[in-house]
Chain A
Amino acid sequence: MIRLLVKDCGAGTSIQDCGRFGYQRYGVGPAGAMDKIALAVANMLVGNDPEAAAIEFTVLGGTFVVEGGPVRVALAGAYAEVRIDGEAVPPLTSATAGDGQSITVGPAKAGTFMVLAVCGGFAVTKDLGSRSFHLRGGLGGLGRAPVRPGQVLPVGGSPQGPDLTATVPPQVSAGAYRVVLGPQDDYFSAAGIATFLGEAYRVSAEADRMGYRLSGPVIEHAKGFNIVSDGIVTGSIQVPGSGEPIVLLADRQTTGGYPKIATIISADLPRFVQQRPGSEMRFAAVSLSDAIAAAREQAAMLTAVRAGLKPVGLGFDTEHLLSVNLVDGWVDAHAPPPEPPLVTAA
């Protein structure tokens, strides 16, 4: 069995796939990668199905040593450097590390979540149909634990064919985060909804895989802030008594008793989660049909990324040279516009 030995990694490192579905009726939330585009792109670069289990890093990277054979890896999401035995791997490109070689993922230079995929995915045991680690439920990952130094992560396959590079980089929308109002927008006054859609909010320090608490102008309720508990989805924006919104994310609870003013559309969630504490944002209401159209555009974008995968080393075309942006250093498509990269390549 091919394995990755974990030499070191940040505390917010875990195995995630596309999530756990079918058990919300038992109180088990979906978990899964925070940035689903990053998961899909990293997986396609190593030849996996988009939902294969990968390592998700939160801001800090990690170091791994290959044991038992070559491993193909690729990183996507927040921009960070990948090195194999010290040699830099170009962005949005897979690379193969041989037995005994080390793979290092640097800290995120912009954004929050990076996803490192390996060929064949990580072959940890599935819990309730998914390998995603879920802290509160004690499910998924290796031994129902986060990734930590000393672990030996089983790799599900060996590299097939050449390493790949994405000549069409993933694109995400910019600007205000699009929301569909509801399910409980009728629990807010007209002034409250105008505040929510008209003012700027910031990600507070209370931001993790469960949700991001936002700070900003208080949103006025119209008829109290307690509802008889009902279902929550990823991207639900609940407003508790404080009047400051909380966006519920992958490790969220399944039900809750605060009214939910709106839901971030699925196409904008990958960009939303990449924000860091302090990031400023605005929300814009769209119709359900616009939200569905955006989901279709995102699926088409991923299809285009897949179609643009080319073997590494077969010569560069203009499109590729533009995509790697040799002058400025690569600009991560997921990096939120309000927050410039912490480090800019010369």
Chain B
Amino acid sequence: MGVQSPRFLPCGDTAVTVEFGTEIDDGLNALCLAFDSALADAAIPGVIETLPTYRSVLVQVDPLVIDMPAFEARVHDLLASLQPSGAPPRRWIIPVVYGGEFGIDLEDVARAHGISPEEVIRRHSSRSYRVAMLGFLPGFCYLSGADPSIALPRRISPRLKTPAGTVSIGGVQALFASVEAPSGWHLLGRTPVRNFLPDRDPVFLVGAGDEVVFKPIPAAAWDDLDAAAAAGESVAELVTS
């Protein structure tokens, strides 16, 4: 795994962003996740928690405990001996009802690219995505590996409310959401999967580094799956290879 010299960007006295790059890139993201894991193993005094993203790792610290110069030196040591994760990623099959009231922007996305809605669904559901990070709100999965041929800039005017389970695209990013939220992305469909359910064990299903494949399901299947998911079933298929 290539060792890169990160930038240490101060976030006040309670955090530092260890930045490996500024773009969306699978290699960068893999580096972030491997570094995040190494940081957890290192258990450095004063580190409270870490948040890996597409291209950086936010390290939340206790300013009364952390020794920043020592921390930076330790980061360089960790990076010099960084090992890529040996385990194959977990793969999740996520059922999605596309279009209609479930994906109110499907037709617009199709029209913008001069293709049929069915073709948008085919392109969106015929690939494997990598979960680059969880962020924004509980359980939101930001995916890399989206098809650039259906990419569309974010809406000029964001919607104040989009439903839980929204499956959407924004620019070259793809997302599946877990709770109701404002969004400027384009809504292709909805999944009954609750990626965040506080009373379920586990509370979160899909994590950073996992792979995700979307599987189109008919609208008629929604009610049963949604009820099962609300009751605590995962309704996502976990494929371990």
Contact = CB atoms under 8 A, between A and B. Distances in A.
Interface of A: 21-28, 127-128, 136-139, 144, 179-184, 227-236, 253-256, 260, 263-267, 288, 291-292, 294-296, 299
27 contacts: A21-B60, A23-B138, A25-B50, A26-B139, A27-B137, A28-B138, A136-B138, A136-B181, A138-B198, A139-B138, A139-B198, A181-B10, A182-B9, A228-B53, A228-B55, A229-B53, A229-B54, A230-B17, A231-B51, A233-B60, A234-B14, A235-B14, A253-B135, A255-B53, A263-B15, A266-B63, A291-B63
Contacts of A25: 36, 49-52, 134, 208
B196 A26 contact: yes
Interface stretch (B19-27, B79-87, B113-121): B19-27
B239 interface: no
A180 B52 contact: no
Interface residues of B, number: 46
A265 to B, nearest CB: 5
B185 to A, nearest CB: 11
Interface in B126-154: 133-140, 142
A139 B198 CA distance: 8
Contacts of A228: 22-24, 53-55
Given A266-B63, A291-B63, A180 B12 contact: yes
A144 B60 CA distance: 26
Given A228-B55, A266-B12, A296 B64 contact: yes
A263 B61 CA distance: 14
A136 B139 CA distance: 12
Nearest to A237: B12
B225 to A, nearest CB: 21
A300 B190 CA distance: 52
B49 A233 contact: no
Contacts of B48: 21-22
